[in-house]
Amino acid sequence: MTISDTFDAVHPVNDRYTPPQTGELDQIAAVFTDGRLSGGAPVLAEYERALADWFGVRRAVAVNSGSSAIHAAFVALDVRPGDEVLVPATAPIPTALPILTCGAIPVIVDTGPGSLALHAADLKAKITARTKAAISLPLWGYPVDDADAATVLAEAGVPLIEDACQAHGTRIRGQYAGTRYRAGCFSTHDRKLLSTGEGGFVLTDDLELADRIDHYTHLGHLKGTQHGVNYKLAAPLAAIGLTRLRELHTQLQQRRDNAHQILAGLPRDGSILAELPYAKGDEPNYYNLVLTTRPDKAEATATAFAAAGLPPDSSRYRYKPLYHQPIFAQYATPCPNAEQLTATTIQLPVHPGMTPSALRWVTDRTHALAEGQP
């Protein structure tokens, strides 16, 4: 089954969410009327202020992609060729490529048992004199409590950043993902909750770090005193983001309602399927609803979901721990917890664009598979 065949009339669930228009065209028209379409247009500063206000941080810097956001954060933290960056084994390719862009070495760390959080003991064992930064990853928008790992890193003087590219609105210990550590990096790619087509941003309370990121992503503001690149976000995309940000709370609630509808009918014993666990009081944003199954049921369950038209990431995208990707194979270390997690998770769409009939269909199929029915 290919991605193109996955969603059709028989399997009526499209996992791509297209937000309804809520004034984007008017915002874009205003930008065109103003005539300034580049990353230096006034709407960029307005968008950055709105982002900072929404997430409750001191600064936001808008950029042209989530990968650019991560790369710029690394550069601002002085990650250089030969340095090491600690990255969870569950990281997808876009999380880790910026490490290579810096000429640095990815050091792949296992996650905790049944968790997306960095395994504190494995992390501690892999810190060296060359360790320059570490990444926390709330994948699929699920809360990641890296408190133990953060303590280890703080004691070693290693800054921690969050790749929150899928975690807009995710809550962890009362804070938004992307606001808990030195910096948070987000994508606004077409598939993200806050979508501008392409784009991203960095959040931080560290004003000096924000200035370094801003200067690097704006060609050093053409002062000729430091190196920089052109990672600016174009004005029309900022206008889209500014408009859609106002609807983000509504979208979050709709996703949570949809996820809870599917979860409500699962067998309470969790014998085959249960939600990926997270701490009490935390809230996923439900970029996807993520279910887990027992290791002895993993292959059969993934096959059953794929046959039902709901293929998990392990089959749709061949998702496995990072070191299974050829470009990262040389950095492989044993990560048994991440191996099990990636093999036993099922990702389901719960976005607001799902029709009531599509949501019922996903709910019915999920419940049937949870009860062992074909």
Between the CA of residue 34 and those of 23, 184, 204, what are the distances in Å? 17, 31, 30
CB proximity list for 373: less than 8 A, separation 6 or greater: none
Q: Distance between CA atoms of 289 and 350, rounded to whole angstroms?
A: 6
Q: What is the pLDDT along the chain (374 residues), one digit of tens a residue?
A: 333 334 554 556 778 888 888 899 999 999 999 999 999 999 999 999 999 999 999 999 999 999 999 999 999 999 999 999 999 999 999 999 999 999 999 999 999 999 999 999 999 999 999 999 999 999 999 999 999 999 999 999 999 999 999 999 999 999 999 999 999 999 999 999 999 999 999 999 999 999 999 999 999 999 999 999 999 999 999 999 999 999 999 999 999 999 999 999 888 776 789 999 999 999 999 999 999 999 999 999 999 998 888 889 988 888 999 999 999 999 999 999 999 999 999 999 999 999 898 899 899 989 998 887 76
Q: What are phi and psi of 106, to 5 degrees?
A: -75, 125
Between the CA of residue 198 and those of 17, 65, 140, 165, 238, what are the distances in Å? 15, 6, 18, 12, 10
Instruction: Assign 149 to helix, strand or coil.
Output: helix
Match 């808008």 to its residue by tokens: 62
How many residues in the chain? 374
Strands in the chain per DSSP E = 59-63, 84-88, 105-109, 131-136, 160-163, 171-172, 175-176, 183-187, 200-204, 274-275, 289-292, 345-348
User: What is this structure's pTM?
Assistant: 0.94
Q: Give me the pLDDT at residue 15, please.
A: 80
> Contact at 8 Å (CB) between 199 and 207?
no
Q: Give me the pLDDT at residue 374, please.
A: 64
Q: Distance between CA atoms of 109 and 265, rounded to whole angstroms?
A: 35
Q: Give me the pLDDT at residue 270, please.
A: 66
- Neighbour tally for 356: CB within 10 Å: 9
Q: Give me the pLDDT at residue 371, please.
A: 84
